[in-house]
A = this chain, B = another copy of it.
């Protein structure tokens, strides 16, 4: 490398460091807005988030950054340096498409909208949220238009979350997946044995739940010296800064699963963030590969590990000790079956592994219709409920458990939902590859040892940050393109056993 290139790389990293620090400020302000901000602070906070967003955008579109980047593109860089320049170019180009004014307006609107949504959800009051969502869609369309350059608006947005993916690619996966799942759900309903979920229902002390859930998250590898767990309306994970990766959950008074699986899910996200390449912290190369890849990590720990029998062979005695009165007389097999009951339900983040994708498909269809304008915001609750009836055979009794349940549209995130299913499919594909490489990991799980699994994920996923595209990462880690087959194999085998099909 020439002396000039080395100096330019240093300058690039310094400039990216300032941008990362602004991102840290903004991420903390958003986290705080969802956790601890007093209500009267909302307007001022949203405004400040918008200001930081504009200042960040100024830095991303600074001509001096473009100059440094251009000089590095002309140099003959290799390896990580070349990747850093390539990934920075992507982010700079994405930023350059958006007018400064739109960046600030969007940040302020989405931030305020989340607060409106939380209140509307708490009071089951969709009408109060409808005008906010309508305004969100106006802004989201502007953002989509800026990115689409005449192309498909949904694709332009979806690509922001899942690089190189399109609505057509999602449909190509979803259509056969849906057919298979409907068949599997039908088999379970018609021929499966009956499973008693009552051991999981009723009151469980929240403090004890939290201690148990956090204990599992730590055993998986979530580092509380660089993280923390708080309570929010909608569970999320946020990599605020180096050494500061936070997760949240919520408690459901009458169901042990309500906080457990979101905690393990978000811990999976947190573990990924905590193991991104430290040497690239504060640069695009130190970030996650895509939201689908992110989701593969959360879903792997939540489901492939956290809903498995070997895992519960280790964890269940601990849970019984935590709630001896409730679970002391419930045997492992009954408990494990209850934890894996397949039944149509209202809430996506609490759904079982099999029906989960149907929740995602509903959102995928509805958000495309909202974006293109073929579905009016006022008609959303009706359209939502119709699809729940059609896909899952149940109708939400209220919007709180219907179209107000998820935060994403309030936060301006359209095109995000498919990544939940794509990531879930990838989690099963990674799991197959991991078991090919490591052999049987069940015994380790039975002993509460998850280090082998974690190391494999770090080696094949986490440490690469954004060095590879999601497709490349998938090929390198699993030897194949992303496919629904591993997931379907896994689901058919697991639920065939549990339901005695």
Contact = CB atoms under 8 A, between A and B. Distances in A.
Interface in A72-131: none
Contact of A45 (B41, B51, B241, B281): B241
Say how many copies of this protein the assembly contains.
2
B52 A223 contact: no
B36 A228 contact: yes
Nearest to A41: B244
Contacts of A47: 17, 21
A38 B242 contact: no
Nearest to A48: B21
Contact of A18 (B28, B32, B51, B281): B51
Interface centre among A26, A38, A224, A230 (most CB of B within 10 A): A38
A246 B28 CA distance: 16
Interface in A213-250: 223-228, 230, 240-244, 246
Question: Chain A interface residue count: which class?
Answer: 35 or more
Nearest to A32: B28
A35 to B, nearest CB: 9
Interface centre among A18, A44, A55, A230 (most CB of B within 10 A): A44
Nearest to A31: B32
A63 interface: no
A51 B226 contact: no
A244 B24 CA distance: 20
Given A21-B51, A28-B28, A28-B29, A243 B36 contact: no
B21 A243 contact: no
A241 B21 contact: no
A228 to B, nearest CB: 5
A38 B241 contact: no
A346 to B, nearest CB: 32
A45 B27 CA distance: 12
Contacts of A281: 44
Interface string A259-292: 0000000000000000000000100000000000
Contacts of A240: 41
Interface centre among A225, A226, A230, A242 (most CB of B within 10 A): A242
A224 B20 CA distance: 33
Contacts of A21: 47-48, 51-52
Contacts of A51: 17-18, 21-22
A44 B32 contact: no
A483 interface: no
Nearest to A282: B44
A159 to B, nearest CB: 29
A150 interface: no
A385 to B, nearest CB: 34
Interface of A: 17-18, 20-22, 24-26, 28-29, 32, 36-45, 47-48, 51-52, 55, 223-228, 230, 240-244, 246, 281
Given A24-B29, A24-B48, A55-B55, 20 more contacts: A17-B47, A17-B51, A21-B48, A22-B52, A25-B29, A25-B52, A28-B29, A28-B32, A38-B224, A38-B225, A38-B227, A39-B243, A40-B225, A40-B244, A41-B226, A41-B241, A41-B242, A44-B243, A45-B241, A48-B241
24 contacts: A17-B47, A18-B51, A18-B55, A21-B52, A22-B51, A24-B45, A25-B25, A28-B28, A28-B32, A36-B230, A38-B224, A38-B225, A38-B226, A38-B227, A40-B223, A40-B226, A40-B242, A40-B243, A41-B240, A41-B241, A41-B242, A41-B244, A44-B241, A45-B244
